[in-house]
Structure 1
Amino acid sequence: MSVVALVPAAGRGERLGAAVPKALVEVRGEPLLIHAVRGLLDAGRVRHVVVAAPANLVDATAKLLADAGLAADVVAGGADRTASVGLALRHALGVIPDTSVVLVHDAARAFTPPSVIRAVVDAVEAGARAVIPVLPMADTVKQVDADGVVVATPDRSALRIVQTPQGFDTATLVAAHALADSATDDAGLVERLGVPVATVPGHAYAMKITTPFDLVVAEAIVLQTERSLVEQSYDRPGAARQAAEEGS
């Protein structure tokens, strides 16, 4: 089976307060996009990556990836996330017509461990038409009205935090994007088709980097991973590689 990953990276990232698009904000000296694409390829299951970048930065983004030694196509993104994914999907299917599994991965979730990526691919290849990684919700959630008054307290035991990459069999994702609708994620589009969306366990490292605080956490994640790799490399052969694959 051919697995293709799409990375929508055309967002401005205004909440980060950066002078560049969010995907190009650096963590430990490298843009989030580089971390994200490298993670997809390092999982060992992705054949091809297509990045949807801001239209005025397509060439610069392609050069950035090439300079980092990462093989990926770059296309101009659309007006929103859904449009960007649709454009990347059409390009990917033109390049690899026999694509059977499509992953959609946020560049802002740049530190998703390879084990999560593999679990999503495995679930789709096992027969699920749509798969998302999730985490249990730890905080109590309140539903409020237009005036900010609490009207309900949902049972958090049935709630999950959604991460990426989200995985789909190709026909399902193509049908979802044919709806000519928009959603905050591609699983939302698939739900409108009435297709069940399966879940696999996510990981804390797959957090979405949205605010300056998140950047601080991301820096700590990378620094801790780097230290673990160094320390474990002295313990036994192959330990560093295993630590990198498990994101610990």
Structure 2
Amino acid sequence: MVPAAGRGERLGPGAPKALRELGGVPLLVHAVRALARSRAVGLVVVAAPPDGVAEVVGLLDSHGLDGKDVRVVAGGATRQESVRLGLAAIPADVPVVLVHDAARPLVPVEVVDAVAAAVKGGAGAVVPAVPLADTVKRVEPQPGGRPEPVLETPDRSSLRAVQTPQGFRRELLAEVHERALAEPELTVTDDAGMVEHFGGTVVVVPGHEEAFKVTRPLDLVLAEAVLARRRASDGF
């Protein structure tokens, strides 16, 4: 599943982030292809902007997707709502669900495979992640760009930067989204965080440095360079 109903304002005004182009192809198409390359994936559901479903259908139809079943549904006002609506479009007999950011267009297929395998192996919730390269400081936020006092320096060896796709047992993902409806004030940045909030266990598998999120203009420049290298080496 790919929730792609957001606008992604940090890339600047214009088209929704998922429809911005990378190497002449929208980020969303790259993300769907990344999932479709995995033999573990039989269906990809895209949660599109409610007013852009027909546009996204046409966009995906115009690009080859290796014969995989791709369905487009209307997403919601929040990522959480889009995932819930996308989940409702997945057949009830599908036991494993992967949730992937449209803004991570270059995730290698081995990461997708590893997440799916971990869920099939018995984990309820799985996230790919990479070690942090930078030292991290926890600070006391200050308004207006004022200097921020450092509160502590966490041990970097125990920290990970989480990526997607995140994998879940279908019934677990459905359960936490249902429970979240009773907590409208709940704010989480990913589905794994929702599982943690309700007391579930999340495990980590190795991610990949090329599965970074395209959020800012500089990320798009880096993604273009990675894509150009891939195309030169293997016709990606």
Same fold (TM over 0.5): yes
Residue 208 (1) aligns with residue 213 (2)? yes
**1-side partners of 2:84 and 2:31: how far apart?**
19
Once the two structures are TM-superposed, the CA of residue 69 in structure 1 deviates from its matched residue by 2.8
Root-mean-square deviation over aligned CA pairs = 1.1
How many residues of Structure 1 are paired with residues of Structure 2 in the alignment? 223
Cross-structure match for 1:184: 189
Q: Is the 8 A contact 1:132 1:165 kept in 2?
A: yes
Residue 74 (1) aligns with residue 69 (2)? no
Once the two structures are TM-superposed, the CA of residue 18 in structure 1 deviates from its matched residue by 4.3
Cross-structure match for 1:175: 175
**2-side partners of 1:201 and 1:104: how far apart?**
16
Q: Is the 8 A contact 1:8 1:52 kept in 2?
A: yes
**1-side partners of 2:190 and 2:139: how far apart?**
23
**2-side partners of 1:97 and 1:141: how far apart?**
42
| Letter paired with 1:176 | V
| Letter paired with 1:227 | A
| Letter paired with 2:44 | V
Deviation per CA, 1:194-246: give whole Å up to 9, x if none: 1110110000110000000000000001000011115xxxxxxxxxxxxx6xx
| Letter paired with 1:190 | V
Residue 126 (1) aligns with residue 124 (2)? no
| Letter paired with 1:156 | R
Runs (4+) off by over 3 Å? none
Residue 117 (1) aligns with residue 112 (2)? yes
**2-side partners of 1:100 and 1:182: how far apart?**
26
CA gap 1:104/1:153 in 2 versus in 1, 3 angstroms: same
Find the partner of 2:83 among 77, 85, 102. 85
Higher helix share: 1
Unmatched runs of 5 consecutive residues or more in structure 1: 1-5, 231-243
Cross-structure match for 2:23: 28
Identity of aligned residues (%): 52
Cross-structure match for 1:198: 203
| Letter paired with 1:207 | F
| Letter paired with 1:51 | V
Once the two structures are TM-superposed, the CA of residue 191 in structure 1 deviates from its matched residue by 0.6
SS at match of 1:56: coil
Cross-structure match for 2:164: 164
**1-side partners of 2:84 and 2:195: how far apart?**
13
Q: Is the 8 A contact 1:18 1:25 kept in 2?
A: no
